[in-house]
Amino acid sequence: MLFGKKENYLGKDKEVAFLIEKETERQKTSLEMIPSENHTSRAVRQALGSLLTDKYAEGYPGKRYYAGLEYYDKLEDLCRERAKKLFNAVHANVQPYSGSPANHAVYYALLEKGDTVMGMSLPHGGHLTHGWKVNFSSKYYNSVQYGVDQTHFIDFKEAERLAKECHPKLIWVGATAYPRIFDWERFSFIADSVGAYLAADIAHIAGLVAGGVHPSPAPFAHIMTTTTHKTLRGPRGGMIMVTEKGIQKDPDLPKKIDKAVFPGLQGGPHENAIAAIAVCLKEASQESFKKYAEQIVKNSKTLAGELLKYGFKLVSGGTDNHLILVDLRNKNISGPEAQDILEKAGMTMNKNSIPFDPNPPFNPSGLRMGTPAITTRGMKEQEMIKIAGWINEVINDKNSCSKVREEVRELCSRFPLPE
Ligand code: DSN
C-alpha cells in the first residue's frame, strides 16, 4: 500500500487539515468554470503527494548531480517519452515548474537581451509572457504585439505587417482568452518568411490537441510549450517540446532548451510533479480522453448558444474551444461584480478584459468562463442549459444568489469529483 494504513496523517495538523477539508467541500459543491482549471484524478494526486518530493535531481536522466536517482531517471524518461508520443514531438523537457518558467526558458535558449519577440497582446487574449509590457518578456526583449481585429478574430494582416517590419527572432502563438481555433499554418508562413522561430504555447488547449479536437501545431511550429494542469488535467507543471520542424531549423534546439531550463533558470526539478505529469499523459492518451475533449467543446458551444439566446454578447460571437468570453456591457454590470455574484451563487468564473475594452484591467467589462472542469465531472449539454439559465438569472437579479446556490449544490451532488 502506497501510503500505509492510516492515510489521514494531516489530522495531526488541524489548521491545515481544516482548510483543505473546507476547500474540498467548496470544490465538491460548486461549479469550477475558470477555463484554465480542472479536477485531477486521484492517480495524479497520489503521484504528486508521493515521497518523490523528497530528493534533489538536478540534471537530466543519466546525467545527474546527485546519487540515488535510479528510479527518478526511469520516471522522468517515461514522462518524456509519453509527452513526445502524445504531442508528436522529437524532444521533450518536462522539468519547467509551470508555464511561465517554460516560456522563460524558451527566451533564454533562443534570444539575446534586446532581441525582438512578437506575441499576442494580453488585452486581446494573449499570455503575459508573450511580450506584455509589465512582464520580463517585454522588459528584457524588444516586444511587438499583434491582436484581434474588429471581428475579434486574429488580425493576420497586422501580424504579417509587424513581422515584416520588425523581424522578430521569435513569434509566439497561444492565448488565455481566445475562444477560436489557431491557424498554425498561417502563422508558420509568417514566421518562415522572416526566419523566426515559431513557438506554439498550447497551455490552454493542450487537452484539446491531445484529444484531437483542436489542430496540432506539431507540423508547423518549431517549439511547443504548455502547462499541464489546464485542459490536460494534470498537476501544476510545464513542458517544452521540440518538433521535427524545429530540429530541421536548428539541430541544437533540444540541447539549447535543456541547458536553458537547467542550469540556466531552475535548480532541482519537482520529480513528484513529473511523475504526476506522466500519469496525466497516460490518461490523456486513452480513448476516454478523446470523448472528454469532444464533450468539453460540445458543452462550451451549448453554453455559448444558450447565453446568446439570453441576449449576452460573446467576444467573436461564440466559441470553437473550451472557453467563452462574455462582453457584459449591455448587461449593466462590470466584470468584477458579475464574478462576485456568480461566486455567491456557486459558479466560479473570472473577470477578464475584452478586446478594445474601454475599462481598465482591474475593472474589466468581460467575464471568462470554460467547461473543462465541469465536463470532468460528467456534465453534458443538458446541464449546460441549466447553468446558462442560472448565469442569466443571477446577472439579472442579484437577489437570486441564495436560491441558485442551493440549486447548484443539488446539481453538484449528482456529479461527484473524479475518483
Ligand atoms: N493564469 C492562466 C489563465 O488563467 O489563463 C494563464 O495561463
Q: Are residues 341 and 244 in the same domain?
A: no
pLDDT at 352: 98
Query: 119, 171 in Cβ contact below 8 A?
Result: yes
**C-alpha separations of 367 from 24, 266, 323, 329 in Å:** 25, 35, 10, 10
Instruction: For residue 44, tell me if it sits in a domain.
Output: no
Name the residue at shortest CA distance from atom 4 of ligand 1: 36
Q: Are residues 390 and 249 in the same domain?
A: no
Q: Is the CB of 36 under 6 A from ligand 1?
A: yes
What tens digit of pLDDT does each residue of 307-319 get?
999 999 999 999 9
User: Could you tell me the distance, in angstroms and rounded to a whole number, from the CA of residue 416 to the centre of ligand 1?
Assistant: 25
Q: Which of 32, 33, 36 to mutate to test the pocket of ligand 1 (most atoms within 8 A of CB)?
A: 36
> Of all atoms in ligand 1, which is nearest to the CA of residue 203?
7
pLDDT at 6: 53
Residue 312's CATH number: 3.90.1150.10
Q: Are residues 123 and 250 in the same domain?
A: yes
Q: Are residues 117 and 105 in the same domain?
A: yes
Q: Which of 97, 201, 204, 353 to mutate to test the pocket of ligand 1 (most atoms within 8 A of CB)?
A: 204
> Of all atoms in ligand 1, which is nearest to the CA of residue 37?
4
Query: 307, 325 in Cβ contact below 8 A?
Result: no
Residue 55 burial class via C-beta count within 10 angstroms: exposed 0-12, middle 13-18, buried 19 and up: middle
Q: Which of 252, 284, 316 is the last residue of a domain?
A: 284
* Catalytic machinery residues: 56, 58, 201, 227, 230, 236
Range of the domain at 293: 287-414
Q: Are residues 220 and 111 in the same domain?
A: yes
Q: Is the CB of 99 under 6 A from ligand 1?
A: yes
Cell of 73: 531517471
- Which residue from 214, 147, 162, 132 is spatially nearest to 354, judged by alpha carbons? 147
Query: 278, 299 in Cβ contact below 8 A?
Result: no
Q: Which of 229, 259, 284 is the last residue of a domain?
A: 284
Pick left, alpha or beta for residue 4 (phi over 0 → left; psi -120 to 50 → alpha; otherwise beta).
left
Q: Is the CB of 177 under 6 A from ligand 1?
A: no
What tens digit of pLDDT does each residue of 98-129 get?
999 999 999 999 999 999 999 999 999 999 99
Q: What are phi and psi of 21, to 5 degrees?
A: -60, -45
Q: Are residues 66 and 175 in the same domain?
A: yes
Q: Is the CB of 135 under 6 A from ligand 1?
A: no
Burial 376-411 (b: 16+ CB within 10 A, else e): bbebeeebbeebbbbbbbbbeeeebbeebbebbeeb
pLDDT at 367: 98
Q: Are residues 267 and 306 in the same domain?
A: no
Q: Is the CB of 100 under 6 A from ligand 1?
A: no
Q: Are residues 259 and 112 in the same domain?
A: yes
| pLDDT < 70: residue spans in the chain | 1-7
pLDDT at 188: 98
- Which residue from 401, 360, 371, 354 is spatially nearest to 35, judged by alpha carbons? 371
> Of all atoms in ligand 1, which is nearest to the CA of residue 34?
4
User: Could you tell me the distance, in angstroms and rounded to a whole number, from the CA of residue 232 to the centre of ligand 1?
Assistant: 14
Total number of domains in the chain? 2
Instruction: For residue 1, tell me if it sits in a domain.
Output: no
pTM: 0.97
Instruction: For residue 76, tell me if it sits in a domain.
Output: yes
Q: Are residues 382 and 268 in the same domain?
A: no
Q: Are residues 140 and 268 in the same domain?
A: yes
Q: Are residues 363 and 349 in the same domain?
A: yes
